[in-house]
Structure 1
Amino acid sequence: MALEIEDKFDVPADFAVPDLAAVRGSAEAVELVAEKLVAVYFDTADLRLAARGITLRRRRGGHDAGWHLKLPKAKGVRNEVTHPLTRSAKIVPRRLSDLVLALTRGEPLVPVAELETVRKVTSVRDADGRQLLEVADDNVKGTVFATAFGEDRHVERWREVEAELTGGDEALLKRVGKALRKAGAIPAGTQSKLARLLGDRILVPVLAEQEDGTAGAVVVGYLRSQVTALLAQDPRVRQVEEDAVHQMRVACRRLRSALRSFSDVVAETTGVQDELRWIAGVLGEVRDLEVIRDRFARTLDELEPRLIAGPVRARLGEDLERREGEALARATEAMKGERYFALLDRLDTMVAKPPLTPLAAKKADTTLAKVADRSWRRVAKKYDEARMIEDPEARETAMHDVRKAAKRARYTADALKPLLGDRASGLAGRAKAVQESLGLYLDGVVAQEVLLEETERAREAGEDTFTYGLLLGLERAAAERSRAVFPRVWDEVTSVAT
């Protein structure tokens, strides 16, 4: 993916690009040969991509001819995924169509509009001739295809200017923007030509509003932020980007935790919670293997070379990486299925028209503070119950429940930080300390299980298993240390709480 940093402006027909060589930070402004660009835009019939600020096009002409998918990232910055031109002008490459499956959900992508642009580019350069910024002066003819919307063919013409950084800094972009505004340009009403052309054909979802300061406003706002986070990570998971699986899994967990913690505010979400647990579990298989592979790699790097016998690095590296790849393939396959699409539909409906209870109309500070306190009391209760269990195996299961309760309390507190401030931050910190301390023990247990599996594979292959035994001992010792230290961690967090 490439990042675009740009500003767009609407200009009158007689607009003249000012002398950009006079802008501080530039040495010369070179007018390049004009070019004609023809771009066909694809979307679902109900314009789901456009409603989310996403554009998918096939462009001919210019230096960047090909397929372009632009995904929103932040204000003024977009992620762009490119693909070479294909023979077919009507079928979107699978690589790109897969990246928007979370929005299309199986609906076909069809041509909805065409933009013909005559572009004159001014290249802003430094004293060494290095290009810092491009200013594109575009005369545009936009056509809405009749077949896409069941209406007459619609044509519009306009002119706009776009300043895009190519090597300079954002300060230069601001100065160039100021020069363009002085010459008569005004900030564009829309950030894309397609949005301008399609206008009110783009149906942005209408979200039910809650009164400011109410419990419903706080909870629904948080739920919407996490649904947005989940959808933002979806294409990153499909692109196998760093940390994407983890971040998407966290969004699922935060959503599920919030729905459980705030069930007195948003009701009837048990089914959605179950499906969030399912997709988080699918992603969890990938994440767990990723974490355990990195864990073993670090441990092996710390061992003396003479203690590493046989192809242990290959087994704990390549073998686990292969298994991780297989798990990722299963995850992405699940993310192409109707079950996943149905979950996304339910999430959209839930945040657009949330099933609120009468408690949602109450003041947020008093109502939700009680939820935060209750979440911590639940952690303490789970720990008290675990300490009373004598059977080691049953007690270990109970301690796992303590960890899950702490994670839920942490997520609840995180959701309430804008409302409760330091009070929520303190609770989140205590819950995180409990979660991470118990997590170290759980990670050690999982590592031992994987080591036993890999040891058996190595033994069957006739390989030396000495190092596996050594690693197993190290993991067991680390897990026991983590378990032994937890009572002290608990005493520390509870003393802070009181």
Structure 2
Amino acid sequence: MSSQQVERERTFALSDGQQLPDLDGLLRTGRSQVHRMRAVYLDTADLLLIRHRVTLRRREGGPDEGWHAKLPRPDGSRLELHAAMTQGPGRTRVPAGHLRAVAAALGPAWPTGVEATLLPVATLLTERTQTDLLDDGGSVVATLCDDRVVALPEDRRWRELEVELVPAAVDDALLDEVSERFAAQGVLPSDSPSKLGRALGKRPDRAARGESLRSRDPAAAVLHSYLSTQVAGIVGREEDLRADAPDAVHKARVATRRLRSALRTFDRLLDREVTDPLRDEVAWLAGLLGAPRDAEVVRDRVLGRLEGLPPELVVGDVVGLARACLTEEHARAHEALVEGMSGERYLALTDSLLDLLADPPWRGRAGRRADEVLPALVEKAAGRVARSVRRTRAHDDPDGPEALRERHVTRRRAKAVRYAWEALAPALGPDAAESARRWEEVTEVLGELQDVVVARARLLELAATAEHAGVPSFSLGVVAGEDRVAVADLTARGDEAVDRALQP
């Protein structure tokens, strides 16, 4: 069930020790209650909603617990929509009616695709003393809320008063009288238009100007921005993943890798009791995504190689057999992905991802400047790459199975370094971006090597299938032989790229 009403309220600033203003002669006070509330506000990455005077939140605790959307009206007031909050897996999902209303309110400004993903941008913890305000007849005409607020993730704290007319109350003239009475006692309207506006500070203005993070920003702010991007890359592609839209699986899988890597590389700034179980669940999703992605890569590579052979080297209908086998393999993997995304485990995972952004488990030096904390953690990750390289080069056969397995480990660790520098680049600038570029070269070459190794193994399986089906496997052997030459070339290029990346 959902409902709507016109919001009629005023907010006033109050210092922590200041006395409540007196309304004697205007209104009488009635019942008082204390509520402890947690409100998670959602917005796009560039804070599009708040910049258009739209707010969307999920509030836990208090008499109006549930989902709230506040939409601007032509007369300057705001329409408030309310919907009940669900429990269990999927509880963080915005109600469809609220989502449609927000999109309609923004009109042409509403983005599409991943850019439209709504993620937690602030969490307000409020201790509210709520008092009924009565008219001479004893009817409740308004509520007075004395709020003490803590805003996360910046940990801003303040106190404010909020006076809101009940829906059936008299007109807004009563609010004018309350404001005059408060002003006479030194209690003035708040400078901030809303709690969310105060929590976000200058972030909306910076977003509107397209300003990036700065090196002097807290490490937590830099990481929160990066984690938000990766979570959006996962939950913002659900429809495309189900439809098997081009490149959707690949991009979502990369987002899972980047997310897990960031939680690992920067784990000294996070409570691992929270993030380690989350990394495990993201790994489960990565596995679901990996199967159709790997099948897609092998299919495209094998078919591309077979179709690129000179006609005289294509013996029998080997292309048709390979296409049928590999297409069926991809279809089965995609079906398993969709099935997994339809279950409670996936819903619970997306809840956990959004909870991570709403209340990040920071610890240690997360509040220190980004340039003082983060580069050293990336260098530690680079040290793990160097150790893996030394183990690889200790093998007698640089292209043998053991060396190739160690190069795969090197590739994974190099990806962690690349992703980390990419996370830091918006704040730390060109030097971090150049480091990311060097490590990207490493991961691209070693990634191509891994694709060749996986495809070569699949070629051998296809050869056995072809022989069983009575289709000559000669062409598959030709491609496998060419790939063996490619492995030697890629291992040499990978070694050179790693050496360049590890240079001071």
Tell me whether 1:242 sits opposite 2:246 in the alignment: yes
Match of 2:449 in 1: 441
1:167-203 deviations in whole A, cap 9, x for unaligned? xxxxxxxxxxxxxxxxxxxxxxxxxxxxxxxxxxxxx
Tell me whether 1:328 sits opposite 2:334 in the alignment: yes
- Cα distance change on mapping 1:346 and 1:47 into 2, 3 Å: closer
Q: Residue 436 of structure 1 aligns to which amino acid in structure 2?
A: E
1:219-277 deviations in whole A, cap 9, x for unaligned? 12211221122111121101211100011111111110110011111222111111111
Match of 1:160 in 2: none
- Cα distance change on mapping 1:319 and 1:394 into 2, 3 Å: closer
> Once structures 1 and 2 are overlaid, which stretch shifts more, 278-287 or 383-392?
383-392
Select 1:475's aligned residue among 466, 475, 483.
483
Match of 2:315 in 1: 309
Following superposition of structure 1 onto structure 2, how do residues 147-166 of structure 1 map, counting pairs within 5 Å? none
Tell me whether 1:49 sits opposite 2:55 in the alignment: no
Match of 1:339 in 2: 345
Query: 1:416 offset after TM fit, Å?
Result: 0.6
Match of 2:226 in 1: 222
Taking the aligned partners of 2:281 and 2:199, their CA distance within structure 1 comes to 23
Select 1:272's aligned residue among 241, 263, 278.
278
Checking the alignment, whether the CA contact within 8 Å between 1:227 and 1:347 is kept in structure 2 is: yes
Query: 1:208 offset after TM fit, Å?
Result: 10
Q: Residue 448 of structure 1 aligns to which amino acid in structure 2?
A: R
- Cα distance change on mapping 1:44 and 1:456 into 2, 3 Å: farther
Checking the alignment, whether the CA contact within 8 Å between 1:441 and 1:480 is kept in structure 2 is: no
Taking the aligned partners of 2:109 and 2:363, their CA distance within structure 1 comes to 35
- TM-score under structure 1 normalisation? 0.60
- TM-score under structure 2 normalisation? 0.59
SS at match of 2:270: coil
Q: Which runs of 5+ in 2 are unaligned?
A: 1-51, 53-70, 76-81, 121-166, 169-195, 204-213
Select 2:110's aligned residue among 64, 76, 87.
76
Taking the aligned partners of 2:94 and 2:494, their CA distance within structure 1 comes to 49
* Identical positions, percent: 32
- Cα distance change on mapping 1:427 and 1:474 into 2, 3 Å: same
Taking the aligned partners of 2:383 and 2:97, their CA distance within structure 1 comes to 40
Match of 1:60 in 2: none
Following superposition of structure 1 onto structure 2, how do residues 280-299 of structure 1 map, counting pairs within 5 Å? 280-299=286-305
- Cα distance change on mapping 1:73 and 1:472 into 2, 3 Å: farther
Query: 1:374 offset after TM fit, Å?
Result: 2.2
Query: 1:278 offset after TM fit, Å?
Result: 1.4
Taking the aligned partners of 2:473 and 2:464, their CA distance within structure 1 comes to 9
Higher relative contact order (CA 8 A, sep 6+): 2
Q: Which runs of 5+ in 1 are unaligned?
A: 1-6, 13-40, 57-68, 80-99, 104-153, 156-203
- Cα distance change on mapping 1:359 and 1:480 into 2, 3 Å: same
Match of 1:18 in 2: none
Taking the aligned partners of 2:384 and 2:200, their CA distance within structure 1 comes to 32
Following superposition of structure 1 onto structure 2, how do residues 366-385 of structure 1 map, counting pairs within 5 Å? 366-385=372-391
> Once structures 1 and 2 are overlaid, which stretch shifts more, 368-377 or 353-362?
368-377
Tell me whether 1:354 sits opposite 2:399 in the alignment: no
Taking the aligned partners of 1:412 and 1:236, their CA distance within structure 2 comes to 27
Following superposition of structure 1 onto structure 2, how do residues 389-400 of structure 1 map, counting pairs within 5 Å? 389-390=395-396, 392-400=400-408
Checking the alignment, whether the CA contact within 8 Å between 2:83 and 2:95 is kept in structure 1 is: no
- Cα distance change on mapping 1:412 and 1:47 into 2, 3 Å: closer
Query: 1:309 offset after TM fit, Å?
Result: 1.2
Taking the aligned partners of 1:294 and 1:241, their CA distance within structure 2 comes to 16
Equivalences, count? 333
Match of 1:231 in 2: 235
Taking the aligned partners of 2:344 and 2:462, their CA distance within structure 1 comes to 35
SS at match of 2:352: helix
